[in-house]
Each structure stands twice: as structure tokens, then as C-alpha cells.
Amino acid sequence: MPLISPLAPDADPEVAELAVFFNETLGFCPNSVLTMMRRPAIARAFIALNMAVMENHGKVTSALKRLIGYISSHAAGCRYCQAHTIRAADRYGAESVQMENIWSYRTHEAFSDAERAALDFAVAASVVPNGVDEALEQRMRAHWDEGDVVEILGVVALFGYLNRWNDSMATTLEEGAVESAQQWLSDSGWTKGKHG
């Protein structure tokens, strides 16, 4: 049972209009946003940040951003966000071979050295204490320009917020997210956990 129940999608017309963004990303408005709607300013700020972080201005693709979000959420242990990010990765065209082998990214041929660096960075930036070291910084600089690094860390930081929000709230997973997680993550032992 969630700590706070989500509101109806039309509870705040301005937030509801902004939340249409998630229909493209996920196919539905997430319960996390519907919970944030109890304080509309938080929901509006979150949606604006999400939209800004997920814009592409460099070499970081929409699909890679969602895989970074998945890896970051897995490192943080948030099953709600794992389900959402793998669903969004699929919807944004991530290659099925990458999604099926996400935990072999360090060695699997489906991942480039640049993607490996970004995913290693996502893990290191998501753990406590922070694991980003000089060697990883050098790898990031070798493959990504400064703007790309900002976009990558923006994804990790965005999901740091969401991981804490959804795990603390025990946000109930939506059926579409559950279906995607079962399709792509069941072999790695994913379950709904407290988000059922």
C-alpha cells in the first residue's frame, strides 16, 4: 500500500496538461506524478526538470538516457523506476539486444566503449558513497563532451530524486510498467516488491 495515494489525473488542470509529456514516454501518467500533484508546484517543477533532462542536444540518445536511468535505478534499488526506465527505453527505440544484455554491458558487443563509460558512470554516480573517480572521469572525457556529461549526470540526478520518492512512497506500479518489466527484467529477478 502506498504511503500517499495518487490523485486523479485531472486533479490539477495545469499539471495534467504538462503531464501529457508522459503519454509519449510511458503511455500513461505515472502514479509518482499523480502523488506529487498534492503539491502542484512540486509536480510542475518535476515535469519541467524531466523534460529538460530528457531533451537531446548532443550525442546522448533518448534510448541511452533511459538505459542510464535503468542502471542508475537498479544501483539505487528502486524497482518502480527500473520498470519505468526499461519501458521508456523500449518505447524510445533501445535495441532489444542491449535491453536483454544490459547487465553484460561491460563486455557485450552490443555496447560501444562510449556507452560503457556512460553506464559505468551511472552506476558510480548512483551509489553511496559516490564512486566517480579520476579514471572514470578520464573515460567520460574521452567519449563525451562537456554538454553530454551534463546530460548524462542530469539523468542520474533526476532518477536519484525519483528513486527516493518512489521507494519512500511505495508508489504503486502501473500495469504497463509491470508488463515491460516482466518482459525485459524477469530473467534478472525483478519483482514489484513494495510497489504492488
Residue 191 has pLDDT above 90, yes or no: yes
Residue 18 has pLDDT above 90, yes or no: no
- pLDDT grade for 74, boundaries at 50, 70 and 90: very high
Distance CA 136, CA 155 (A): 17
- Average pLDDT (17-34) is 93
* Residue 70 cell numbers, joined: 535503468
% the chain with pLDDT above 70: 100
Q: Average model confidence (pLDDT) for the chain?
A: 96
- Average pLDDT (36-47) is 96
Surface-to-core class of residue 176, CB atoms within 10 Å of its CB (0-12 exposed, 13-18 middle, 19+ buried): middle
Q: What's this model's pTM, rounded to 2 decimal places?
A: 0.96
The pLDDT score that the predictor gives to residue 53 is 98
Q: What is the pLDDT of residues 96-154, one digit of tens each?
A: 999 999 989 999 999 999 999 999 999 999 999 999 999 999 999 999 999 999 999 99
Separation of CA 124 from chain center: 15
Nearest one of 113, 110, 88, 78 to 27, comparing CA atoms: 88
Q: 17: which residues sit within 8 A by CB, 6+ positions away?
A: none
In sign, the C-alpha dihedral spanning 174, 178, 179, 180 is positive
Report all structural domains of the chain as residue ranges with CATH numbers, in order of start: 59-188 (1.20.1290.10)
% the chain with pLDDT above 90: 91
